[in-house]
Amino acid sequence: MSIKKFINKKSKAYQAWLSYEKLSDNYLNKNEELLSNISVYGKTNLSASIKEELKRALPKFLAADFKLNFKDRYQNKILIAAETEVKEIAAGSKEISSILNNVEFGELDEEGYLIKYFKEQDLLLLTAASDQGLLYGVFALLREIQQENDLLELDLLSNPKNNLRMLNHWDNLDGSIERGYAGKSIFYKDNQLVNDLKRIRDYARMLASIGINALSINNVNVSYQETRLIDDKIEMVITIADILRDYGITTYLSANYASPMQLSSIDTADPLDEKVRLWWKEKTAEIYDEIPDFGGFVVKADSEGRPGPFTYGRSHADGANMMAEALEPHGGLLIWRCFVYNCQQDWRDKETDRARAAYDNFKDLDGQFKENVLLQIKNGPMDFQVREPITPLFGAMPETNQVLELQVTQEYTGQQKDLCYLIPQWKKVTDFDTYAEGENTPVKRIVDGSTYNQKNTGFAAVVNVGNDQNWTGHHLAQANLYGYGRLAWNPDLSAVKITEEWIKITFGQDQEVMESLLRMLLYSWSIYEDYTSPLGIGWMVNPGHHYGVNVNGYEYSRWGTYHRADHEGIGVDRSVATGTGYAGQYFKENAEKYETIENCPDELLLFFHHVPYTHELDSGKTVIQHIYDSHFRGVAAVKELQGHWEKLEEKVDSEIFENVNKRLKMQLDNAVEWRDQVNTYFHRISGIDDKFDRKIY
């Protein structure tokens, strides 16, 4: 029995950061004339989406009964037109012609936009090289307006830093979502498309508003039904692609590496087998016949039980190139995940180190991949833990396209019950200096293609969206989705800037709301880390579903995930000198930093070293005292989160208030359980008392 969900599309929770609230009287007085006189050029579907969005937004900004009429002549206050059209208008207008020299068309990339106010002409120009750029520009302009920024000061040229700005859906056709914490799929139900296509369209709007341009629409673990998406179920893909296309989003599919074996009579998936190669070529051509702008495939191969080229004694380059070759004539991309490791490890084996796996499996293949192959690499070497080092593979393959994979869905970070705003974590990742080309080669300059002059690079992330009313389960988890998009567009944006932007366009201008939410969001990752696993050691979660504490949950398992705590100390020795050698996978500066206990930053100490509980951290505390202190502090901080939120009851939408309020209660329960189990475990095993004699059970 399935309970039919009632979705109220007018609720603020559903509208997310696109609810377009009425502007303040003050701001309106100043800008009403400007905002009431807009002309939009363009005849593409994207232009239609732009107009639709403006028609949705402006009446709400200005007043309930306002009706937007687009003027088709340039004399209006706001002109929205692509470069070609601006130049056409200029030909017949001295006024427009007079500004042309001051418009930096040459600096606009394919997807970039320019928003600029010309005082003399009293004209706000939004232009771009393409309608797609215009679409992003319109959402940027609406964002500026909702924040009540001064439009007359606008001079904003923005190009995306990354060509690929992708989200991965781990949705299955039966409607379930692997690692989904916000209800069921918004795409599928009972192996069919959902009835509510309008919701998919609203989702596309949200994504376009933050600059997402690529979406893979099914789980990377591709099962029987999902494999059929490139076969007799392709109608489903066509329908979704049609919707996404209107918002500049390219559709990708996760492909089953063994598809020919399921879908044809071929009994192998050997990448060097001619029958297999031909099958993929023909199959791919069929897809492009139906969806000419199809993006390509995402592939998880030879990973956690998925089929792959290893079965046939072939390399990952063989496997990826074979599929890339089929996509090449159509301009498609082949995105190959590097999450390949031995998941049948013996806990007794201290030589094998899962952290080494991506580097060990891929580094030597540099230069062997085709131009349209992109390697998608998780931010950390393990699996989206609350704290991990950065994967050393970034920057280590100069001749290979690299994509950074993040996880917006909060698998190990509270599952959208606990508040854990991840932008600060991601900033650490993107700003991490790999030293690949000497100092100042951060990850973001690898995956934006600038270091090695590549174009098929960028960001990908597993999304946190389901069919809950508010899309993300925890309302504040919307900020992770928003922030991911903004960061993928421009990783140089600061966490504070992104967060302030999201708060303003979601909750408005109130100063107390701003201050409380800024504090809640920006500290939440650190709070979550405080009450969960300490000093970079990770795991300690319940096996399988990964929510809640279980200190030994992964200690005697086959997953390569150990803390090695004994009565004297804890941590995994990954040094070159005495450990697994993982530290040596980094470029020299980082390798030296991680190699020794002295140089290794505390926050990753237990990831790289096994140390006694009595080891003194940089903070002056011992490891054991740090464990106790951080866990008591973490719970106290969750109570403070509750305090902050409760004070906002009168100031935020009641549905959102209740949603967050309930989840903060769950978070407190979770934090208390983490605190008590972790403290008790380490008190029992170390025999060392808390300096402050607090309650440890």
Backbone angles phi, psi at 438, to 5 degrees: 80, -175
CA separation for the pair 433, 302 (Å, rounded): 30
According to CB under 8 A, which one of 278, 293, 556, 599 is a site residue for its own copies? 556
Q: Which is nearer to its own copies, 684 or 691 (CB)?
A: 684
CB 409 within 8 A of CB 480: no
Based on the shown chain and the rule CB under 8 A, indicate whether residue 348 belongs to the binding site for its own copies: yes
Least distance to its own copies from the beta carbon of 348, Å?
Answer: 4
Q: Is 383 annotated as catalytic?
A: yes
Residue 174 region by backbone torsions, left for phi larger than 0, else alpha for psi between -120 and 50, else beta: alpha
Q: Which is nearer to its own copies, 567 or 639 (CB)?
A: 567
User: Beta strand pairing status for 250-254 and 296-299?
Assistant: parallel
Based on the shown chain and the rule CB under 8 A, indicate whether residue 545 belongs to the binding site for its own copies: no
CB 239 within 8 A of CB 193: yes
CA pseudo-torsion sign 345, 351, 352, 355: positive
Q: How many CA atoms lie within 13 A of 265 on its CB side?
A: 0
Quote the crossing angle between the two packed helices 234-245 and 274-290, to the nearest 10°: 50
Nearest CA to 168 out of 484, 628, 551, 555 is that of 484
Least distance to its own copies from the beta carbon of 677, Å?
Answer: 5
User: Beta strand pairing status for 373-378 and 333-337?
Assistant: parallel
Containing 269, the helix (H) or strand (E) segment is: none
Over the window 305 to 344, marking each residue x when it contacts its own copies by CB under 8 A and - when it does not, the resulting string is ----------------------------------------
Least distance to its own copies from the beta carbon of 687, Å?
Answer: 4
373 bridge partner residues: 334
Question: For residues 272-291, which are near its own copies according to CB under 8 A?
Answer: none
Q: Which tokens is 134 given?
A: 């215009």
Stretch that binds its own copies, among 412-420, 453-461, 462-470, 546-554 (CB under 8 A): 546-554
Q: Is 411 annotated as catalytic?
A: yes
According to CB under 8 A, which one of 551, 600, 623, 627 is a site residue for its own copies? 551
Based on the shown chain and the rule CB under 8 A, indicate whether residue 685 belongs to the binding site for its own copies: yes
Over the window 629 to 668, marking each residue x when it contacts its own copies by CB under 8 A and - when it does not, the resulting string is ----------------------------------------
Over the window 560 to 589, marking each residue x when it contacts its own copies by CB under 8 A and - when it does not, the resulting string is -----xxxx---------------------
Least distance to its own copies from the beta carbon of 210, Å?
Answer: 41
Catalytic, out of 33, 104, 293, 304: 304
Catalytic, out of 131, 411, 448, 595: 411
Based on the shown chain and the rule CB under 8 A, indicate whether residue 687 belongs to the binding site for its own copies: yes
CA separation for the pair 697, 683 (Å, rounded): 9
CB 633 within 8 A of CB 530: yes
The DSSP output letter for 152 is G
Q: Which is nearer to its own copies, 177 or 606 (CB)?
A: 606
Over the window 502 to 541, marking each residue x when it contacts its own copies by CB under 8 A and - when it does not, the resulting string is ----------------------------------------
Based on the shown chain and the rule CB under 8 A, indicate whether residue 549 belongs to the binding site for its own copies: yes
Stretch that binds its own copies, among 51-59, 60-68, 302-310, 549-557 (CB under 8 A): 549-557
The DSSP output letter for 484 is H
For Cα atoms 425, 429, 434, give the angle at the middle one, nearest 5 degrees. Answer: 155
For 83-146, the DSSP string reads: HHHHHHHHHT-HHHHHHGGG--GGG--TT-EEEEEETTTTEEEEEESSHHHHHHHHHHHHHHHH
Q: Which class for 223: exposed (0-12), middle (13-18), buried (19 or more C-beta within 10 A)? A: middle
Catalytic, out of 383, 418, 595, 629: 383
Least distance to its own copies from the beta carbon of 352, Å?
Answer: 13
According to CB under 8 A, which one of 684, 689, 691, 694 is a site residue for its own copies? 684
Number of residues that bind its own copies (CB under 8 A): 20
Least distance to its own copies from the beta carbon of 164, Å?
Answer: 41
Based on the shown chain and the rule CB under 8 A, indicate whether residue 552 belongs to the binding site for its own copies: yes
Query: Which residues are annotated as catalytic?
Result: 304, 383, 411
Which residues are near its own copies by CB under 8 A? Answer: 347-348, 549-552, 556, 565-568, 676-677, 680, 683-687, 697
